[in-house]
């Protein structure tokens, strides 16, 4: 699990780095970012994984969200994986901005030709934590996860599908019910095929309705988000959590759209939420 260091930068008393390694799960090189807070120089610290949205990569969050300041305050390591495999040789993988490269949807594909390399769930839940643990001062058993848009979907579903793996969970403008919206339907058809029973296994609303649970959720949503009505549908997540007794704090914000100005505006709250969940 050797790492290639691509770049490192001093940042708020810690280090923001970007790295590449040969992934067994994906079968290709994968890149990811790590912010090491100043506390990591003294010993292991909790790890918070951030999953980015459509068209993003491992650098997007690190550059745009302003999270390192708060991670340094709380002593949290931030890990930012890429959103999908790249340079796969699949002709249509780069044809659409909302499917294929940059749009992995954080699942293991079962449909061809994507099943070989699109194994983001296995990569994120099994392989990447081992890579991080062996190369950085990560505290065992202290992991949280959050994300934005497609990455919010990934954070919710990975936490719901892997009980106990993450001690804290949150999302910003997540795709809440991907099986019911165009982005998710396109991705699920391409990665999983036409069987909607398989889709339900990667749909946060369906998973909660089916009995899956996670630690108390924090979700923020902008009311000026251009994707709110057609693609995100947080009201379905709200209804599912209420019916199931899953703790959820869903905050709606007038005037905020879907982009990183929105994400950065509520970053302090999300890192404080995770610091509480990962304390101890």
Burial letters 107-144, b for 16+ CB under 10 A, else e: bbbebeebeebbbbbebbbebbbebbbeebbbbeebbb
> Is 265 in the active site?
no
What is the Cα–Cα distance from 128 to 77, expressed in whole angstroms? 14
The single residue of 23, 84, 149, 170 carrying the catalytic annotation is 149
Q: Residue 50: count other Cβ atoms within 10 Å of its Cβ.
A: 30
The single residue of 82, 108, 220, 225 carrying the catalytic annotation is 225
What is the Cα–Cα distance from 148 to 22, expressed in whole angstroms? 26
> Is 258 in the active site?
yes
The single residue of 202, 258, 273, 274 carrying the catalytic annotation is 258
> Is 162 in the active site?
no
Q: Residue 163: count other Cβ atoms within 10 Å of its Cβ.
A: 10
Which residue spans within 192-239 are E strands per DSSP? 217-222
| Sheet bearing 29-36, strands edge to edge | 4-11, 14-22, 29-36, 77-81, 45-51, 138-148, 168-172, 217-222, 248-253
Helix (H) or strand (E) holding 276: helix 267-278
Task: Report, as residue numbers or ranges, the catalytic residues.
Answer: 149, 225, 258
């Amino acid at each position: 699990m050797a790492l290639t260091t691509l770049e490192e930068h001093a940042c708020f008393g810690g280090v923001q780095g970007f790295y590449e390694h040969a992934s067994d799960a994906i079968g290709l090189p994968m890149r990811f970012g790590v912010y090491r807070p100043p506390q990591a120089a003294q010993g292991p610290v909790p790890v918070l994984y951030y999953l980015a949205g459509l068209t993003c990569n491992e650098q997007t969050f690190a550059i745009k969200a302003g999270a390192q300041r708060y991670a340094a305050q709380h002593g949290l390591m931030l890990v930012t994986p890429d959103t999908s495999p790249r340079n796969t040789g699949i002709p249509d993988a780069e044809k659409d901005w909302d499917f294929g490269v940059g749009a992995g949807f954080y699942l293991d594909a079962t449909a061809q030709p994507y099943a070989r390399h699109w194994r983001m769930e296995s990569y994120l839940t099994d392989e990447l934590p081992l890579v991080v643990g062996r190369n950085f001062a990560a505290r065992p058993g202290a992991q949280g996860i959050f994300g934005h848009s497609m990455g919010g979907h990934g954070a919710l579903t990975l936490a719901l599908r892997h009980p106990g793996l993450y001690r804290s969970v949150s999302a910003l403008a997540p795709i809440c019910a991907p099986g019911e919206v165009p982005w998710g339907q396109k991705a699920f058809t391409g990665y999983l095929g036409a069987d909607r029973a398989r889709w339900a296994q990667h749909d946060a609303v369906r998973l909660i309705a089916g009995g899956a649970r996670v630690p108390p959720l924090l979700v923020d949503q902008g009311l000026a988000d251009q994707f709110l009505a057609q693609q995100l549908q947080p009201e379905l997540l709200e209804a599912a959590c209420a019916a199931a007794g899953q703790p959820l704090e869903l905050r709606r914000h007038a005037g905020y759209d879907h982009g990183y100005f929105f994400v950065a505006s509520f970053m302090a709250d999300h890192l404080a939420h995770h610091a509480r969940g990962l304390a101890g």
